[in-house]
Homo-oligomer: A and B are copies of this chain.
Amino acid sequence: MSERDSDRAVSQTVRAQLALRDLILSGRLRPGERISELQAVETTGVSRTPVRMALVRLEEEGLLEAIPSGGFMVKAFTERDILDSIELRGVLEGLAARFAAERGVSARDLEPLKESLAELDKLVTQDVVTVEAFSSYVTMNARFHALLTELSRSAPLIRQIDRASALPFASPSGFVMAQSVLPEAHQILIIAQDHHRIVVDAIENREGARAEAVMREHARLAARNLRLALRNRTHLDLLPALTLIRSPASE
C-alpha cells in the first residue's frame, strides 16, 4: 500500500533479481557460497516463487551456478576467465562491426553512431579529467557500443553480445572507472576513442576485416585496464565485481 511507485512498477521477480545481484556484486555473498532460498526471501522481502525465478535468471546471467543436488551457489571466476570474457566480447563485437561493414549501413543509420562519436570526442579532448567526466564517459561509451552492435542488424548476434556483456567485468565499460585513478588514464581514453573513430570509418568504407580487427583490439584495452588495476590495487573499491575472483591465477 505504502510502497513507492518505482517499487510497484516492477515485478517481484525483477526486484528480487536486482537485490540478489547487488548482494553478489557487492561481495556480501561470497563466491562458492550456497544461496539459501529462505534467506533470500528474508533479505529481499518477496516470497519464494519470484526468488526462485530470479535465481534461475541469475544463473542464466552467469553470476550463479546450479548445484547438482539442487539450489544455487555464487560463481567464482579466475582472472583468466575474466580476460577470456573480454576477448570473447571483442570477437563478438568484431563480428558485429564486420557485418555492419559488409552489409552496408545507410548514411541515415550511421548518423546516430557519428553523433555518439562526436559526443565522446568532446569529453576526451578536454584536458581536465574529473571523476564526473569518467562517469558520463561510461554512459556514452555504453551507448556507442550498443549503437554499433545494432548496426549489425542481426538479432541472434545482438542477443549473444548482450548476454556476453551481462557480466559486469565483461561489459564494454567494465573497467573504464578503474582508469580514472590511473596515470595512464588520458592516454588510454585517447586510444580508445581512436578505435571508435577507426571502426566508424571502416564501416562507412565497407572494410569488414578492418572493422573486425579494430574492435577486437579495442576490447583488449579493457584487459589492459584490468591488469593495471590489479597491479596497483589501491582503488579496487571502484570495481566491486572483482570480489568474484577466486584464484587470481598469477602468471
Which chain A residues have a beta carbon within 8 Å of chain B's beta carbons? 49, 52-53, 56-57, 60, 62, 80-81, 84-85, 87-88, 91-92, 95, 99, 154-157, 159-160, 163-164, 170
Bound-state Cα–Cα, A53 to B91, Å: 32
Bound-state Cα–Cα, A160 to B85, Å: 10
**Given that A53-B56, A56-B57 are known contacts, is A157 also in contact with B88, CB under 8 Å in the complex?**
yes
Bound-state Cα–Cα, A83 to B59, Å: 28
Indicate how many identical chains form the complex. Answer: 2
CB distance from A135 to the nearest CB of B (A): 28
CB distance from A182 to the nearest CB of B (A): 25
Docked-complex contact B57 and A155, CB < 8 angstroms? no
Bound-state Cα–Cα, A163 to B157, Å: 12
Docked-complex contact B85 and A95, CB < 8 angstroms? no
Chain B neighbourhood of A80, CB < 8 A: 154
Docked-complex contact A84 and B156, CB < 8 angstroms? yes
Nearest CB in chain B to that of A86: its residue: B156
CB distance from A220 to the nearest CB of B (A): 14
